[in-house]
Structure formats: structure tokens, C-alpha cells
Structure 1
Amino acid sequence: MRGFQNGQAEIDGAEIAYEIGGSGPPVLLLHGFPQTRAMWSAIAPRLTDSFTVVCADLRGYGKSAKPEAVADYSFREMGRDQAGLMRELGFERFDLVGHDRGARTAHRIALDFPDRIKSLVLMDIVPTHLLLDQLSMQVAKAYYHWFFLAQPAPFPERLIGADPDYYFESCLLGWGASKIEDFDPVQLAAYRAAWRDADTIRGMCNDYRAAIEVDFALDAADLDRRVACPTLLLYGADGAMAQAYDVPGTWADRCADLRAMAIPGGHFFPDTAPEETSAALLEFLG
């Protein structure tokens, strides 16, 4: 991203790739599946007049570490990476924004490091435990990838590896109201470069395996806990989650101070509606 500096930090033995730019209070932006930190390319520069913006690749994604064990991909482990990165950069407290898997990681960070998070923005997710525990036919059909990617290795890896662009672009075009032309060509090229790597495919599969094998139990143990900091929930007005759930209602008993807003588009509204997304972030963070 123009005006941003690339970096690589070793956090407890895991290399985490990031970019940093701007000045002011720190804010961390976390991408989702099947993307990289490049998803913030049209949003992060709009925040730099007011904030020091850090965009990081989750472990398993982009240029960050891709360990072997499924347990290494829990949202708790991903969250420790990112909390450690911000401390390495000198930021003890910070605002936190996440989309998709990045939002699930952000939710876990807010629970595990409550004193470090000033505010939280969750984009187009319902709670992980709720989605899995109360799975409906509608959601299972729309979010089939949760269960395909979670199959034992190397089954999904081999099928995806035969044509990564075809598979992952089918994900980008699913979950509501997108066509390939809606995605910035430079950002799309960055996604393709990442997901064509066999280790990245494995890492993304392990992310979904860990959600079922590790995160479900962690979240079950924390069902009575609420995020204490101010929280903004953004969701795609035409996305699969909005069609299946009262999305704000799924978070009402999990956040002490919650506000919510629908953004035009489907699940990938940060890519397809960056102006509206940036405006919502600036209003909330300001």
C-alpha cells in the first residue's frame, strides 16, 4: 500500500507479516478468508490522517507463518500473534477491526486481552459457537466451506490445489451480491498470488479445522463472558449472514456496548464498498 512500510516480526517463534502507516492512535486491521492484508488497500489509507494503521496477515495466510499442527490455528493462537505484534510495535492499547476470520480472531483477542482493546469492530460474522451449535440447513448450504475445508488432510488441499483460482474465486463470488469485476484488480492479484501456494491452502484448511476441533470448546467455556469495550458490528445488507440471521441480535448478549450497521453488498463489502466501510470506521473510531 502506498505510504505504508512493510515489516516482518517474530512473535513467539512465528513470523507475522504486516504493513504500517499513518500517525495517531493505533488501530489493527485483520483480514478474512481467503484473502490477505491486501484487502485493506482501499480502506487503510483513508484512516492514516487520524490513526497509525497496522494491517497484518493472519498465521496461515499471506506472508505470515504457516505451522503444521491444526491446534496452532485456533483463534486464540492467531490472537496471540496479533496482540504480540502490536506490543512489538510499541502499542499496548489499540483499536481492533476484523473481517470474517479476522473478526473471529478479534473477538478472541477482546476476550483474552480485554485491558488492551480500546474498541472492537466485527465485520459480517455471527458468533462461532452459535453458528456451529445451532446450524441450520440454510447456513450449512451457504457456508458449506466450513465443513469441506475441515475434512482431514490432504483431501481438501488436493482438490483445491488442482485449480486454486477457480475454488477461491467461487468463495469470493458467494455469500451475497458480488461479481469478479467488483474486486480491485491489484487486490485480486495479491489474493491469487497467496492462495496459489500449497502451504497457504493447507494453512487455510487448518484454520477451519481448528474452528471445529479447538475453538468451539474454547468458546463454549466463555459463553457467559461479554466483550467490555465499545463494539461496532458491520454486516453486508445482502450477505448470507443477513439472510439467515438477525446479525445484531446474535451479538446482543455477547457485547456490553454494541452498535450495528448494515453496509451495501454481500459478505465482502470491505472490497466492494470501501468508501462506505471507511466512513463507518472513521465515525465509530473517531
Structure 2
Amino acid sequence: MSAPQTFNTNSQTIAYEVTGTGPPLLLLHGFPQTRAMWRPMVPGLAEQFTVVSADLRGYGDSTKPTSVQDMSFRLMGADMVNLMTALGHPHFHLAGHDRGARTAHRIALDHPNAVDSLTVMDIVPTEYLLSNMTTRIAQAYYHWLFLAQPYPFPETLIGHDPDAYFERCLLGFGKASLDQFDPHLLTLYRTAWRRPDTIRAMCHDYRAALEIDWGDDAADLDRRVTCPTLVLYGQDGAMARLLDVPARWADRVSNLTSKPMPGGHFFPDQVPTETQGALLEFLKSL
């Protein structure tokens, strides 16, 4: 990964990259990845947008908080709003995958005037998922419960072979094979997730989901995201098999567009060209 720029906010250091010119577009990665996941798409997006890709706190080259309280989506989101404001973008388009999508949803709720459009990739709202955790959902998304176990139990088990665990995550949330992931990006992901402080922070992310984010979202059930919203989801992934993804967003946003994508949960890695195209099509329509 190239040397990132850094921004200090909320006692955290956020690593980010900026490419292109035009309206600002912030891209947020998910678990267990880094901002590098967007690199195949950035050149095409940067022809029309100022693209900012950033590592969430706890991930990649950003600071690794040592407390669960510091890994909430609300605080992750505040980091990014502060970053974009410092870059001269008080409002911006916003797209995220997985944990980045959950952070983006929280940004759209907490900072509605900052978000011109929202794109979430392969998630349903956090509150819905946790409040409706059926046996089948728990089986497919067992990592939510495993990673949330008290420190240092999951960290110890993962630390014995991080590649084995996190590669299983890449393959286990939908139909995928390792050869569908760019080899260079896989190397970057492995470098990041092998760090003990990254493993701890990612576990804290999932602990915070149960201990903090669930309550934050439950308190906001009467609020809707008001900006235009695109929901992309892997047509072969566990989320699509278990849930009607667009329907789960229908009462959470005011202006909804949805589209199934080829592949599973990690369709941005599996089909980056198609993902870039779907995002550009949506943004051009606004």
C-alpha cells in the first residue's frame, strides 16, 4: 500500500488517499479489509469525482483503539465527517461496503446535511439484523457473535493463524474463491490483519456493535435517511439468500434504489468493474 496521508481527529489518526477532481465521493471499506479494496475502481471514479478512500479507525493504517467504546459506528462516522470537512468538503457522496456501509448509514443519520447521497453494499440495517438474529442468520454470520466474545478469547484463537481465519471470512459470507481476489490486494489485507492490534480492534468493532451500535440504531428507528440511497447486494451471498435486502431498507430511507450484483458478499472485490459501473450509474442519475 502506498504511503497514505493522515488526519488527526478525535484522538485518532486516520489514513486516507485522495484522487481525481469533481464532486467529493468518500469510500469506506469493510471487514476484514482496508481502503485498498477500492483501488481497482478509483481510476474510473476519479474521472468524474474527487475520490477519498480512508481506513476506518481500527483498520489498515489508521489508529487502533484499545477500548470497545472507541469502536462505535458513531465515532467512526464522526472521524470521516471531520476528515471530509478538513479537506474542504462539508458535504459529499458516500459509499461503503460491510462495516463501512454501517458507518455510512450512521453518518447519514447523524450528519444528514453532510451526505448528498448514500450507497450501502451488502448489508441490512444493524438494528434489524441483531433484533432478528434467527438461527440461520446466526449460522451464516456467526462471526458477529464470535468476535464479540470477551477479550482475549477470539484474539487468541485468531492470532494462531490470522490468514486461515480471515481468508475463511472472505470465502464464507457468500459464493467466492480466493482466485477472485486481486493477489496484490490480498497481500495488503494479510499484512494488515496479521497485526495483533488490528485483530483486537476488529473484535472491538463487533463488540461495539452489540454493546453500543444496536442501542444507537434502536433509538433512531423513527428516523429515515433522507438523501438518495442506493442499496447494492450480492445476489449469491448469504444476506440475499436469507433476507429480502431491499425490503429491509424500505422503511429506513426515503428515496431508495436497489440492485443485485453478481457474486457474494465481497462482490466489490469479485466484480469491481460492475460495482464501479453501478455506483457511477446511480451518481449520474442524481
TM range (shorter): over 0.9
SS of aligned partner of 2:236: coil
> Could you tell me how far apart the structure 2 residues matched to 1:212 and 1:5 are?
34
Indicate conservation of the 8 Å contact 1:263/1:269, yes or no: yes
The match for 1:108 is 106
The percent of aligned pairs where both chains have the same amino acid is 62
Amino acid at match of 2:85: R
The match for 2:266 is 268
Q: Where does the alignment leave 5 or more consecutive residues of structure 1 unmatched?
A: none
The match for 1:217 is 215
Q: Which TM-score applies when normalising by structure 1? A: 0.98
How much has 1:88 moved relative to structure 2?
A: 1.1
1:51 aligns with 2:49: yes
1:150 aligns with 2:125: no
Could you tell me which of 256, 259, 262 is aligned with 2:257?
A: 259
SS of aligned partner of 1:210: helix
Indicate conservation of the 8 Å contact 1:107/1:122, yes or no: yes
The match for 1:69 is 67
> Could you tell me how far apart the structure 2 residues matched to 1:82 and 1:126 are?
21
CA RMSD of aligned residues (A): 1.0
Could you tell me which of 238, 241, 247 is aligned with 1:240?
A: 238
The match for 1:79 is 77
Q: How many residues align?
A: 284
SS of aligned partner of 2:4: strand
SS of aligned partner of 1:173: helix
Change (3 A) 1:5 1:189: closer
> Could you tell me how far apart the structure 2 residues matched to 1:95 and 1:238 are?
27
How much has 1:174 moved relative to structure 2?
A: 1.0
SS of aligned partner of 1:153: coil
Amino acid at match of 2:236: D
1:21 aligns with 2:25: no
SS of aligned partner of 1:189: helix
> Could you tell me how far apart the structure 1 residues matched to 2:134 and 2:24 are?
39
Counting only pairs closer than 5 Å after superposition, residues 152-231 of structure 1 correspond to structure 2 as 152-231=150-229
How much has 1:131 moved relative to structure 2?
A: 0.6
| Worse overlay, 99-108 or 37-46 | 37-46
Could you tell me which of 87, 90, 107 is aligned with 1:89?
A: 87
The match for 1:121 is 119
How much has 1:108 moved relative to structure 2?
A: 0.1
Amino acid at match of 1:155: F
Q: Which TM-score applies when normalising by structure 2? A: 0.98
> Could you tell me how far apart the structure 1 residues matched to 2:205 and 2:4 are?
24
Indicate conservation of the 8 Å contact 1:6/1:20, yes or no: no
Moved over 6 A (4+): none
